[in-house]
Chain A
């Protein structure tokens, strides 16, 4: 049996804490609940024993919610950080955006609190290796491609700035797309189901909020040139764009279901985000892992599995899960190298991503037919093996540009 999770609730209103203690009593076998009546008490509690989940109010006298969240992120990045607030302003939520996993708005039913916290805990445990988890947890966001980031800044500053254009640029950039989706899916807009389209996220937020979030509060920043010798992060971005458009085209050719197409798009855009995260978390050590793969001529994920113990697919799924991405996207990223391990037997975002990824690779090598990295067993199971050309056509119809 796994150990009880330690959950710390912070609120300056004693009755709220009492209510939570009673209302969540049914979780007493799984959660060890603790209560702090101010920010200072919360920080002390965290310092004495590490906690798994922090649930905090925002407006409190003295040390407020933003400070508690930011301190928790800096010193105990692996805690799940949740806001439970009745009158948090957009401004404070933006400030704490990259330190917050989830926003719950008072009044919030304890059933919902239970469900959302449990889901986050499950998603957190996708990555089993705890020490890797704590290294990865320090990465709050991935940076943007400088070109696109500048375009967005320019557009936001222009007099008649167009939300459409911003949405387009954001959709092509894994850093900014992740930031807006993370915020929109965190619960800022109430309990709506998570979305996977960066374009819709931008439209939901509006110009002002996008500016506040991305620029003013630096939820996102431009990528600096790295000193890695073998790992080329810019490749991850451009392949993300190719795979996003390709996977969406394939999903759409399979069925005109726009939700699946959105999921496929996001899965494509973020499929190798784990590499960027590993690069940031492990630095030159990760560079050496990539180097090893290159010198041996094996896929990077094999080297990662052998040396680090987990692949970039698992790491990517882990962070995307914590950023509130829909399950379909998280699963697609998790299994994009070996979809048969997912156990899924129906066509989905995962299928579209795997096909798009495999075909991108062939295009780069100017080869015909299935690449050697494709999961043959999976294709056979879904009855897709004989249809290479069909998908190739679907992809080229959408005009893929790199």
Chain B
């Protein structure tokens, strides 16, 4: 076990260190509270700390307080070493976050017994922390798998529907064209009937009805194409992808999500180079951003606008998704990329959207994702993907980093 001994008195420090070494522990020492703190905040910090109560500047209880406040430091079992044995002091010490105390001068057997208790607790604490960490990772993986499955299902449904409707759309269109041609042929025969109000009406309205039907069919055609394009099978390698096309198909497929709350404006760079990426994953990110934007706008109770833009930068391409929604409040800005961070009700949000976006863009594509937001005004998310598909700076993907 690693043990920290913090005491400003060199004699008792050395005695303690010698005793602990004899018992087979790895004992490090600190001569004051500041040094103790810095050792406890390091990686691989001691599992147990024995802190002298009275130390200059930062005393033992204060060290406890600061360590307990710092959420990133790993758990440590703290024992306060004290000459005073009054009850009040004890309460202050435990209140500051100590786990136990040892009266000074100490009795060897008592110290031994109390240390055993401490080690047992410290060990359990560490195990528990590891377990929690494992569970968080598993939960996150599960969440991502769930998202991926959802997207796959959506893609399959989209392509299934596309397959079902492209054939009828073909013959509806052909038949309407036929009606259009036939009307042109028939029209001269009706010319002499002027003055009949019903006939006048038909002569005026039939061509319009045909034109509008043709327009409708064209629209259906566009949607069918988008649905078909959305559903390409997952690829194992990055493919050179027309990002503008991916943007447009995702917008079309997600119409149901934004259609009632916002208008979409696009400004896509016609010179955008094809970019090596996993198209399915990029579409998933776009979908998540669109859905978030739509939700943020829905919260304002007003019809809003979502702007999607692409542009070419020196060695990357940029995708921007802006909304006129409620914005991300200051206190959440640090947190939104964390898995499971959500401000939405159960059933509405799982807090996976941006975590997945981050992992796809940063870890899979070596790209960047960030945002600007103003409360009450709206939010813009930015994505950059390297044009060469490699990007600078290697990124070692370590899921655990991401959880903490």
Contact = CB atoms under 8 A, between A and B. Distances in A.
B171 A86 contact: no
A15 B162 CA distance: 18
A190 B168 CA distance: 19
Nearest to B222: A107
Contacts of B224: 107
Interface stretch (A16-24, A219-227, A325-333, A391-399): A16-24
Contact of A22 (B174, B220, B237, B240): B174
A86 B174 contact: no
Given A26-B181, A163-B240, A206-B240, A106 B170 contact: yes
Contact of A111 (B177, B237, B274): B177
Among A20, A105, A107, A208, find the residue whose CB has the most chain B CB atoms closer than 10 A.
A107
A163 B238 CA distance: 11
A370 B228 CA distance: 55
Given A13-B167, A22-B175, A107-B221, A203 B240 contact: yes
A180 to B, nearest CB: 14
B173 A107 contact: yes
Contacts of A106: 166-167, 169-170
Interface string A16-49: 1011101111100000000000000000000000
Interface in B243-298: 274
Contacts of A22: 174-175, 177-178
Interface string B170-214: 111111011001100000000000000000000000000000000
B169 to A, nearest CB: 4
A203 B389 CA distance: 14
* Interface range, B side: 20 to 34
B231 to A, nearest CB: 11
B166 A207 contact: no
A110 B172 CA distance: 11
B178 A86 contact: no
B177 A110 contact: yes
Interface string A74-109: 000000000000110000000000000000011111
B385 to A, nearest CB: 16
A204 interface: yes
Nearest to A23: B174
B166 A107 contact: yes
Contact of A108 (B162, B170, B172, B178): B170
B217 interface: yes
A110 B274 contact: no
A19 B173 contact: yes
A109 B177 contact: yes
Interface residues of A, number: 27
Nearest to A161: B237
Interface in A105-134: 105-111
Interface string A146-164: 0000000000000000010
A207 B163 contact: no
A208 B171 contact: no
Contacts of B228: 87
B239 A86 contact: no
A324 B168 CA distance: 29
Contacts of A23: 173-175, 177-178, 181
Nearest to B221: A107
A88 to B, nearest CB: 11
A240 to B, nearest CB: 26
Nearest to B220: A107
A19 B181 CA distance: 13
B225 interface: yes
B171 A18 contact: yes
Contact of B237 (A25, A107, A208): A208
A20 B237 contact: no
Contacts of A203: 240, 274
Contacts of B174: 16, 19-20, 22-24, 110
A163 B178 CA distance: 46
Most B Cβ at <10 Å: residue of A23, A26, A207? A23
A25 B171 CA distance: 14
B186 to A, nearest CB: 13
Given A19-B175, A20-B174, 9 more contacts: A16-B170, A23-B177, A25-B178, A86-B170, A106-B167, A107-B166, A111-B177, A207-B239, A208-B239
30 contacts: A15-B171, A19-B170, A19-B171, A22-B175, A22-B177, A22-B178, A23-B173, A23-B175, A23-B181, A25-B178, A25-B182, A26-B181, A86-B167, A87-B163, A106-B167, A107-B169, A107-B170, A107-B224, A108-B170, A109-B177, A109-B218, A110-B174, A110-B177, A190-B225, A203-B240, A204-B274, A207-B237, A208-B235, A208-B237, A208-B239
Interface of A: 13, 15-16, 18-20, 22-26, 86-87, 105-111, 163, 190, 203-204, 206-208
Ranked nearest first, the 7 interchain pairs of A and B with the lowest CB-CB distance are A19-B174, A19-B171, A23-B174, A22-B178, A86-B166, A107-B169, A23-B177
